Amino acid sequence: MTETTETTRPFDAEVGRLLDLVVHSLYSEREIFLRELVANAADAIDRRRFLALSDESLALPEDASIRISVDKEARTITIADDGIGMTAEDLASHLGTIARSGTRAFTETLADAKPEERPSLIGQFGVGFYSAFMVADTVEMISRRAGTTAAHKWTSDGRGGYRIAEATRDTPGSDVILHIKPDADEYLEPVRLETILRKWADHISVPIRIERDGKFQPANEGTALWRKRKSDVAEQDYTEFYRHLGHMFDQPWATIHWSAEGSIEFSALLFIPGQSPFPVTEDDRESHVRLHVRRMFITDDAKLLPGWLRFIEGVVDTEDLPLNVSREMLQSTPVLARIRKALVNRVITELKSRARDAEAYKPFIEQFGPVLKEGIYDDNDHRTEIAALARFRSTNGDDLTSLDDYIARMPETQKDIYYITGEDPERIKASPQIEGLRAKGFEILLLSDQIDFFWPERLATYADKKLVHAGAASDIFEAAETPAALATLTAALKSALDAHVSEVRVSSRLTDSPAALAASGAQPDLALQRLMRRAGRQSYAPKPALELNPTHPLIERLIPHAESGEDMTDWATLLLDLARIQDGETPIDPARFARLVATKMTPT
């Protein structure tokens, strides 16, 4: 390279302050500099390819690529491309003014070009180049505009200004040379640079090569599977990409691959895993589907899918999404909102289709059913659709049921959908709270996932049927009469249990059990109260009620004891502990309970 003339120029006003923001505030990860410079290089190659359509003299070389080399002794990284290049005026205009992007200016010239003829350009705001100063104390750019023979070098330390000098370059394109800071030694390792490229730029179409051991070796895959037509992708290709994307070892249960066209355009490749990669109660409830813009990875934190679909892996790639200057903090735009809406609708459509085959749908429900049901609680727009996709255990048998199938089996005398919540489906299946409903031939949903304690109240109705907790299903039972003898017993038991129950009452809901606990008034059901206590959350609900089965032999046996004025404390304690055990609780005093059982079982 030979330099003949050199001019020194100050940056435009405010550039120094803006450069400081770029270096210290705009990007959260220092490694982003490589993504930004590679994006610029890819844009330059795409611009040259586009302009060559009308000017053959600008044609790209057959091996056009982005080449990255490291000189550890000189402490430099060089990023070279075969793109359109820049003149001295371009260097002054585009690199001397923050937020003036060659890409953006070029895009403005394409207003009359047909959409299919426009190249995919990544840069928009012209600040990505300056991210180089996060790792470099001096940056040089040697560039030669395609169609010319003159080359020029732009040099700056990112502070006072920049210099432009004549230079030489054998071919059109640009070389960006970074003089690495003392605290950025990690970026002088080719392996580190390749790792960054695999993360951020693996799928851009321009080949990227890194010099290792004197040879330039491929550093990106270069193929965006999601941009291909479905007919051109083999099943094995999908599986390999799924495993690469999510570090999985299983087969995807479902693959959703499509391109949206119309007011917004994007390509999506989503996978529903065959096995859950996380516990369904894990703390991270956010979707991590990857967002790409023109094949360049932007973030996996765009929340492209709601939390109740967080198990889905995949990629969404768009040409239409406006980004802010850092490309890391997405603007809340209508475009992004429409993409999210389209993704959710497409996933729901896929699940509806697959749900028609109950046996094939069962593995999905077993893996992700609890997460799916979170959508009934969270998603106002799709609540009913999600409820239709959910499956539940019930008293009808061992097979899971949908709400629609439940309703189809309802006898004419049943008007509502009944459910009971608890932590063990087998235990709640034997709950005394559902004895009366089962005696009427009514089916009860057995809800034992944590989210089951919350979504039924939010859903409220389904297909014009109210969802009613079994513990609150009192209006379908005749009011139990309380003869004087039973009144004496309930009063005696209430006196003995005053510290533990709000009331003792006769119930017509019990058929097999002598007694059961029930929530008082509008308080949360008892299973929910237990769940909240075990989660360390205080419960201020009133004491439960103790309900008695007036036809049970034990209750009938206790009436004479109460009428005689006998102390009913032991019997009351025994009844309460029996009810607690049936409800999944332990006796208040286990040792005393054992003694009472032994005493009452001993013949007198």
pLDDT in tens, 178-187: 999 999 999 9
Rg of the Cα atoms in the chain: 35
Task: Work out the pLDDT band at 478, boundaries 50, 70, 90.
Answer: confident
Res 101 pLDDT > 60? no
Task: Work out the pLDDT band at 226, boundaries 50, 70, 90.
Answer: very high
Residue 312's nearest CA partner among 387, 245, 244, 380 is: 245
Q: Which long-range contacts (CB under 8 A, 24 or more apart) does 349-357 make?
A: 350/254, 350/256, 350/272, 351/389, 352/385, 352/388, 352/389, 354/254, 355/389, 355/402
Task: Work out the pLDDT band at 275, boundaries 50, 70, 90.
Answer: confident
Q: Could you tell me what percent of the chain has a pLDDT over 70?
A: 84
pLDDT of residue 518: 85
Q: How far apart are CA 548 and CA 505, in angstroms?
A: 6
- Whats the size of the chain, residue-wise? 604
Res 3 pLDDT > 50? no
pLDDT of residue 71: 97
- Which secondary structure element, helix H or strand E, spans residue 461, and what is its range? strand 461-462
Decide: 584 and 427 in contact? Cβ < 8 Å: yes
Average pLDDT (147-170) is 92
More confident residue, 174 or 321: 174
- Give buried/exposed letters for 10-44 (b at 16+ CB in 10 A, else e): ebeeebeebbeebbeebbeebbbbbbbbbbbbbbb
pLDDT of residue 160: 75
More confident residue, 320 or 329: 320
Task: Work out the pLDDT band at 601, boundaries 50, 70, 90.
Answer: confident
Res 158 pLDDT > 70? yes
With 0-12 / 13-18 / 19 or more C-beta atoms within 10 angstroms meaning exposed / middle / buried, residue 441 is exposed
Task: Work out the pLDDT band at 125, boundaries 50, 70, 90.
Answer: very low
Average pLDDT (11-19) is 61
Structure tokens belonging to residue 593:
């309970």
Average pLDDT (146-173) is 93
Q: How far apart are CA 31 and CA 47, in angstroms?
A: 25
Mean pLDDT of the chain: 87
Strand partners, 292: 297, 317
pLDDT of residue 334: 82
Task: Work out the pLDDT band at 336, boundaries 50, 70, 90.
Answer: confident
Task: Work out the pLDDT band at 1, boundaries 50, 70, 90.
Answer: very low
Res 481 pLDDT > 80? no
More confident residue, 190 or 334: 190
Amino acid letter at 519? A
For the segment 523-557, what is each residue's pLDDT rounded down to a tens digit? 557 777 666 666 666 666 678 889 999 999 999 99
pLDDT of residue 501: 93
Q: How far apart are CA 431 and CA 425, in angstroms?
A: 10
Average pLDDT (428-452) is 93
Structure tokens belonging to residue 53:
């359509």
Average pLDDT (108-137) is 67
Decide: 172 and 146 in contact? Cβ < 8 Å: yes
Res 177 pLDDT > 90? yes
Q: Could you tell me what percent of the chain has a pLDDT over 90?
A: 62
For the segment 385-422, what is each residue's pLDDT rounded down to a tens digit? 999 999 999 999 889 999 999 999 999 999 999 999 98
pLDDT of residue 425: 87
Cβ atoms < 10 Å from Cβ of 379: 19
Average pLDDT (259-288) is 81
Decide: 147 and 172 in contact? Cβ < 8 Å: yes
pLDDT of residue 102: 56
Average pLDDT (338-345) is 95
Q: Which residues contact 306 (CB under 8 A, 6 or more apart)?
A: 287, 340, 344, 375, 378, 379
pLDDT of residue 324: 45
Cβ atoms < 10 Å from Cβ of 346: 15
pLDDT of residue 603: 76
Place of tokens 């490229």: 197
More confident residue, 18 or 269: 269
Structure tokens belonging to residue 323:
């980004």
- Give buried/exposed letters for 357-373 (b at 16+ CB in 10 A, else e): eeeebeebbebbbbbbb
Average pLDDT (229-254) is 89
pLDDT of residue 65: 96
533 alpha-carbon distance from chain centroid: 28
